[in-house]
Amino acid sequence: MIEFNRRHVKRETAARIGAGMTVLLFPYVGVYAVVPLFAICLAERKTRILSASLASLLLLSYGLHILSLGHRSTDIQLPLYLVAVSFVAPTFGALAAGASGIFKDLGRSLVYLATTTALGVLAILWAAPPAVGFDAERVLFLATLGGLSGAFLHSASTRGERDFAVPFGSCMVMWLFSFDYPLPDIEYMAGIYVFALALGIGAYRMKAADAEAVLSMVIICLLVIFFADIVWFLILLSFYLLGSGFTRYKYARKQELRIAQSRGGVRGYKNVYSNSLVPLAMAVLYGVYGSDLFAFAFLGSVATATGDTLASEIGETAESKPRMITTFRTVEPGVDGGVTLLGQGASIFGSLVTGLLAVAGGMAGAWGIAAALAGGFLGTNFDSLLGATFQARGYLSNNGVNLVATLFGAAMGAAVWMMV
């Protein structure tokens, strides 16, 4: 029985390698690379979802190309070289991570990332037509983005979901950021990659974030820096540091009250994205359009995330009982929608830190402080209002409330810019 299982595993591994190797056929047969994928699908049952996913991406790329030819006004293309990287991620990247038995969690994800990025660079150069004329910065950016998104989806998905989530997810992320945008030189890019990974590994070793959260933070770090500036990321980093630090503030008392963060305060990817998606979007929009409107919106959203986190982690330790934001009646600590004076003060403090960092980094003048204070304080209280209403009724989760509140904070920051 053991020998039979070993043969079956080897057969599945060979089938996955074969699926990944079809990338070599792209320059010669294009969409007809679905033929060997179909054969692999028939030969090995456990690779059917993977083969079907990869074949679907090939057909989607070909279909969009034909559509663009038939309608000259429609120029929506899914380049074949991006599909090539999405072939590498769930095959060679996954196999390398699985074979790295001495590593666990983040270590395996880093092996996945390194393998997918290195082979992804080769896949882009192999599959891209000569007319594309890629520069080294663009190739490295797309391959790294494919590796990071693939590693994240591989780690965050269940075993049964990976063969669909990884190829489609990594391809869509690369496609989203494949538009023509000026990137920094390759030496600067390499330095930022090392910086982002070092921060992530440090957060993991300090038990401030799990493997999926680390990969999420690295993705956000790269995109914020490349589309805006490193000062923008340092402001966002202040939220991560303050949030993690004050999560441990009077942690024993929070445990007694049964309101302490689970897993000892280790953040997961849902917490990262729910608080960082709006700031990320504002940074990307700033890079594309160059308007200070998005800079002020960025400050409002980060201040909301920071202020809300400090209001919760510090306010919950207040000696006086919190009051419901909708009725002002006293409630038990930890009840959604409960606020305290200590928490309100903590919210103002966190918002002020965001604004002062923006001024110190040259991102904004004195009005940047106003945007952070307005966005942070109002956004934090809007978060409490959502908690008392939509979250209490089960319409929104805590992460959903965070996402909507940071969007509201961004709107308040943008409103300050419009007034001045």
Mean pLDDT taken over the chain? 88
- % of the chain residues with pLDDT over 90: 64
**CB 253 within 8 Å of CB 228:** no
In this prediction, residues 223-247 reach a mean pLDDT of: 90
**CA of 357: how far to CAs of 53, 167, 233, 352, in Å?**
45, 39, 11, 9
Q: Which helix (H) or strand (E) holds 65?
A: helix 48-70
Residue 20 has pLDDT above 80, yes or no: yes
Burial of 366 (0-12, 13-18, 19+ CB in 10 A): exposed
Give the burial string for 370-398 (b: 16+ CB within 10 Å, else e): bbbbbbbbbbbbbbbbbbbbbbeeeebeb
pLDDT band at 179 (very low <50, low <70, confident <90, very high): confident
| CB contact at 8 A, 93 and 135 | no
Number of Cβ atoms within 10 Å of the Cβ of 236? 27
Q: Counting beta carbons within 10 angstroms of the beta carbon of residue 360, is it exposed (0 to 12), middle (13 to 18) or buried (19 or more)? A: exposed
Task: Write out pLDDT tens, residues 267-279.
Answer: 889 999 999 999 9
Per-residue pLDDT of 367-403, as tens digits, reads: 999 999 999 999 999 999 999 999 988 899 999 999 9
In the predicted model, is pLDDT for residue 59 greater than 80? yes
Query: Which residue do the tokens 């790295």 mark?
Result: 100
Whether pLDDT at 7 is above 70: no
Q: Break the chain into its structural domains and give their ranges.
A: 232-262+277-420
Measured CA to CA, the distance from residue 376 to residue 373 in angstroms comes to 5
Instruction: Using pLDDT thresholds of 50, 70 and 90, give the confidence band for residue 243.
Output: confident
With a pLDDT cut of 70, the percent of the chain lying above it is 90
For residue 2, the model assigns a pLDDT of 47
